Amino acid sequence: NAGVTQTPKFQVLKTGQSMTLQCAQDMNHEYMSWYRQDPGMGLRLIHYSVGAGITDQGEVPNGYNVSRSTTEDFPLRLLSAAPSQTSVYFCASSHTGVSYNEQFFGPGTRLTVL
Amino acid sequence: GENVEQHPSTLSVQEGDSAVIKCTYSDSASNYFPWYKQELGKRPQLIIDIRSNVGEKKDQRIAVTLNKTAKHFSLHITETQPEDSAVYFCAAWITGGGNKLTFGTGTQLKVEL
């Protein structure tokens, strides 16, 4: 199993550009989520999904969209990139959306918005 | 909203000493508390977790304690080694307003020779 994969690893955008960060998992996990990591602020939840067709907002959803059309994929869309969205983005998945399930993280995408 | 506070933000210990990291949470319904280790440039990885019906759990040199009444939990690392140097994150599974994992702000642990 590849586990949780993310593409790209690095990305530089100009203010106002849009892009999609890809996330996929091959473990048949129901629960998937996106976090951003900024220095001194830990991991903050952007959006999450408890299954295909179901998404919900996390702590910092503004400026981001998600969809979950399949169990395997959970892309994160930046609609109009801003310098404040410069961050490292992690996708994670777990077996279900019930607690007690280990969250497996992808390798991350480092995004810089100029 | 629900949050998790973590202290200290940095911790420096001598090799062989113990390290303790403390977290508090606000959602009294939280029932799962994992700890993640993140090495520089790598993804967070689970090192130990505890459920709300357990007060303490140990795995070799790592232990976690939970005080539900006070709503705080701690990570204890004994006999620290240089390879323990990393950022450690506590987290709490929040059930109010959806099912999600909320993280603390992290502790940079440095084990000095």
Report the residue of chain B nearest A6, measured CA to CA: B43
- By the 10 Å C-beta count (0-12 exposed, 13-18 middle, 19+ buried), B41 is classed as exposed
Average pLDDT of chain A to the nearest whole number: 94
Output helix, strand, coil percentages for chain A, rounded to the nearest 5.
Answer: 5, 50, 45
Going by pLDDT thresholds of 50, 70 and 90, the confidence category of residue B98 is: confident
Task: Name residue, tokens 């080694």.
Answer: B81
Q: What residue type is assigned to position B72 of the chain?
A: H
pLDDT (mean) for B80-97: 92
Q: In which residue ranges of chain A is pLDDT below 70?
A: 99
What is the structure's pLDDT at A96?
A: 81
Six token digits for residue B49: 């977790």
Six token digits for residue B19: 């390290």
Kindly report which listed range (B8-22, B41-55, B76-90) carries the lowest average pLDDT score: B41-55
The span from the CA of B3 to the CA of B103, in Å, is: 8
Q: Spell out which residues of chain B touch residue A5, defining contact as CB-CB under 8 Å.
A: none
Q: Are A77 and A18 in contact (CB under 8 A)?
A: yes
Q: Do B46 and A102 touch (CB under 8 A)?
A: yes
Q: Spell out which residues of chain B touch residue A42, defining contact as CB-CB under 8 Å.
A: 6, 89, 103-106
Q: Spell out which residues of chain B touch residue A40, defining contact as CB-CB under 8 Å.
A: 9, 105-106
DSSP letter assigned to residue A73:
B
Q: What is the pLDDT of residues A53-71, one digit of tens each?
A: 999 999 999 999 999 999 9
The span from the CA of B63 to the CA of B40, in Å, is: 23
Collapsing DSSP to helix, strand or coil, B83 comes out as helix
- Is the pLDDT at B4 greater than 70? The verdict is yes
User: In angstroms, what is the C-alpha Rg of chain A?
Assistant: 13
What is the structure's pLDDT at B99?
A: 80
Kindly give, in sequence order, each residue whose CB lies less than 8 Å from that of residue B60, ignoring residues fewer than 6 positions away: none
Kindly give, in sequence order, each residue whose CB lies less than 8 Å from that of residue A92, ignoring residues fewer than 6 positions away: A4, A32, A33, A34, A35, A103, A104, A105, A106
- Is the pLDDT at B9 greater than 90? The verdict is yes
Binding-site residues on chain A for chain B (CB distance < 8 A): 31, 33, 35, 40-45, 48, 50, 56, 58-59, 90, 97-100, 102-103, 105-108
What is the structure's pLDDT at A111?
A: 97
What is the structure's pLDDT at B111?
A: 98
DSSP letter assigned to residue A53:
T
- Is the pLDDT at B96 greater than 80? The verdict is no
The span from the CA of B13 to the CA of A35, in Å, is: 30
Kindly give, in sequence order, each residue whose CB lies less than 8 Å from that of residue B8, ignoring residues fewer than 6 positions away: B21, B107
Going by pLDDT thresholds of 50, 70 and 90, the confidence category of residue B94 is: confident
Q: What is the pLDDT of residues B20-77, one digit of tens each?
A: 999 999 988 888 999 999 999 999 999 999 998 889 999 999 999 999 999 999 999 9
User: In angstroms, what is the C-alpha Rg of chain B?
Assistant: 14
What is the structure's pLDDT at B16?
A: 97
What is the structure's pLDDT at B27?
A: 87
Going by pLDDT thresholds of 50, 70 and 90, the confidence category of residue B1 is: low
